[in-house]
Amino acid sequence: MEIRTIGVVGAGQMGNGIAHVMALAGYEVALNDISREALDKAMATIRKNLDRQVSREKITQDELEVALARITTTQTLTDLGPSDLIIEAATEREAVKQAIFDELLPHLGPQTILTSNTSSISITRLASRTDRPEKFMGFHFMNPVPVMQLVELIRGIATDKDTFEACRAVVDKLGKTAASAEDFPAFIVNRILMPMINEAVYTLYEGVGNVQSIDQSLKLGANHPMGPLELADFIGLDTCLAIMNVLHDGLADTKYRPCPLLTKYVEAGWLGRKAGRGFYDYRGEEPVPTR
């Protein structure tokens, strides 16, 4: 099937990025959030990021205007029902995602493909609670969406070939690269990335190095563009902890045990950049290590 219209659930960091790239690629996009403020903020962010692309001569001013015109916003989730493809990009909590799909189900067209941008939750389990497990899969973008070139496509046990091929065609049209991942906890990227971040937190917790020395070591010693603690702050420490818990619970291996210090930061509400504090304090002109 050819996908022309796309519904995006959630107007946060991931959702606005997904809406941005989809509209720029020529899709009609309906962006949903329960908060009008979140939708207004998302559209402002999309405009700012498109302006940046114009200034770097990646796109023209005309392309910017046409892309913006392709995005409509709504606080009514069921408005997304007729879309050819729906991408859920809400918070990384399974109960929230399930409630979204439950509300959408009676309003979907027979052709509608359901997907989740989850970074770790079982696609098979999410799909099994819908009326179309064969038309359900994982559509996992990397952050920031307009910049990162990879999309993980995750098939549940029931996902059919036509659904996979339709989603892969969307990734191709975006000019991004699809990586096919099996439906095991955290898939490919986070299965490898999150234990590295968790180990960096253990290195801090055990006093092997401080925040600055750990990040500097990986940037200069392994040529990483960001240190692991800086990256954790960028992702959100609550998200990192949630993924480590999925790995620990799903694979029952102690090597995935979340570091107690990571748990402590989340309990304190020090969630990284979005909260103003994490492994760095972002409230001044320059980020300052908190340990």
Residues 6+ apart with CB under 8 A from 96: 90
CA nearest to 197, candidates 241, 152, 134, 150: 241
Catalytic sites, residue numbers: 119, 140, 152, 190
Distance CA 267, CA 262 (A): 9
Map residue 142 onto helix, strand or coil. Answer: coil
42 contact partners, CB below 8 Å, separation of at least 6: 11, 12, 15, 16, 19, 31, 33, 73
> 196: alpha, beta or left, given left = phi > 0 and alpha = psi -120 to 50?
alpha
Annotated binding residue 219: no
Pinpoint the alpha helices (H) of 175-281: 189-205, 211-221, 228-235, 237-251, 260-268
97 is in an annotated binding site: yes
For residue 12, say whether it is annotated as part of any ligand binding site: yes
Calpha distance 195→263 (Å, rounded): 14
Check whether 11 is labelled as a binding-site residue: yes
State yes or no: 217 annotated in a binding site. no
Asked whether residue 274 is marked as a ligand-binding residue, the answer is yes
Is 13 flagged in the annotation as binding? yes
Tell me the pairing of strands 136-141 and 150-155.
antiparallel
The helix/strand/coil state of 187 is coil
Nearest to 86 by CA among 133, 32, 153: 32
Please check if 10 is assigned to a binding site: yes
Classify 253 in phi/psi space as left (phi over 0), alpha (psi -120 to 50) or beta: beta
- Residues annotated in the binding site, as ranges? 10-15, 33, 92, 97, 119, 143, 274
Q: List, as residue ranges, the binding site for NAD(+).
A: 10-15, 33, 92, 97, 119, 143, 274
